[in-house]
Amino acid sequence: MLNSPLSPSSTELVISVLDMVLSEGKPLDRAYSVHFSGLQLAPSEQARITKVAGDILRRLNLYCFLSDVKPEEMSRLGTRLINAWHLFHELELPKLQYSLPLVEAEYFTRLEEAKKQPALWDGCPEWLDEMGQAQLGEAWAKERAALNTQPKRFIRTNLLKCTREELAKKLRNEQVQTQEVEGVDTALEVTSDSALFRTESFKKGWFEQQDAGSQLVAAAVDAKPGMRVIDACAGAGGKTLSIASQMKGKGRLLAMDVEQWKLDSLKQRARRANADNIETRIIASSKTIKRLKLSADRVLLDVPCSGLGVLKRNPDAKWRDTPERLPVLVELQKHILQSYSRMVKVGGMLVYATCSIMPEENRNQVDAFLAENDHFKFIEDENISVADSGFDGFYLAKLERIAE
């Protein structure tokens, strides 16, 4: 994790970020944006801060248990939790002017207690552990452990502008170290703490930051030049841009979403990437979908989901209201799958995807859909395991429309 303690200023930033997430309910990336804005931090120091804050949130209940600090006490007792974090990682305690004492004998007693509780040791809340055991059985333990690890940094080569080899060479000249990712032809893993978005390579649109698992989902669409393709839950367009790269700028790629600001962001990214065949369209009502009935060779439905496959990258989600939201999300997934599948033409393919590892949102949804829609045929599906792949966790299923 780190080989030296946090500086006093970095410690304050970590505590402030955590307090904004835990007390104000802000998303972690938003908290980083607020606290880093206007600061002239070296990329290496910013990386240290995000690593520590992310690790604490991935195992928040463990560090709270070890330090005897409640999440809502972060602004008042945060230094004690930070001291426990340093002890856990066998680092010297940070040299803080004001620091709440941590009784080390009590800490080590609690440490031994925590080792006997696997879910606590893995930083897993009780609701998630119960759900994981119920849905994944014996496979859950290794997924749970993998979800508390630090995520790797992956980027996707924009094949509209360069090859993966050319990108790696150009980044190397910009002091960014990378390595190829086996099994994902467009992916590079960034192995240095580098300011990716300050590079000329990024400014020129040679790459996008995208998890390797997400790249596999986009690749499953298998879009060909000249096709008509719809990304119906496009968001800010990470997978849309990947599909545009597959299409080599030829054909029509329609990116749709219910939120205009996400599509506006996609337009900017598409200009930088030279993805000229992307058209954006807001989903204003069900009529938007009906007008596109039986029109697409490929439809990607990357549906809203619990995000339980990307918890190591978005660890704050573990401490939100996911148990209450999940039934609502499952119903929304069913609606989207039933309604948006109408856009696939006969002989065309539907790709259903989530960033969840839970069968309730994945194969169960696909099976229920197929039971009610005999004009679709199951082709194949894939579970991208967090533990087995080292990527974020995803699910994808390919379905072919065989009749109207």
Q: Is position 302 annotated in a ligand binding site?
A: yes
Are 153 and 395 in contact by the 8 Å Cβ rule? The answer is no
Query: Catalytic residue among 162, 233, 305, 355, which?
Result: 355
Are 27 and 44 in contact by the 8 Å Cβ rule? The answer is no
| Strand-pair partners of 397 | 352, 381
Are 14 and 49 in contact by the 8 Å Cβ rule? The answer is yes
Instruction: Report the greatest alpha carbon distance in the chain.
Output: 72
Task: Mark whether 355 is an active-site residue.
Answer: yes
149/386 Cα distance (integer angstroms): 10
Percentages helix, strand, coil for the chain, rounded to the nearest 5? 50, 15, 35
Angle, CA 140 vertex, CA 396 and CA 234 arms, to 5°: 25
Q: Which two tokens stand for residue 47?
A: 């990386």
Are 91 and 4 in contact by the 8 Å Cβ rule? The answer is yes
102/158 Cα distance (integer angstroms): 50
Angle, CA 363 vertex, CA 360 and CA 364 arms, to 5°: 50
| Strand-pair partners of 395 | 354, 383
Question: Which residues are known binding-site members?
Answer: 257, 302
Question: Which residues are known binding-site members for S-adenosyl-L-methionine?
Answer: 257, 302
Catalytic sites, residue numbers: 355
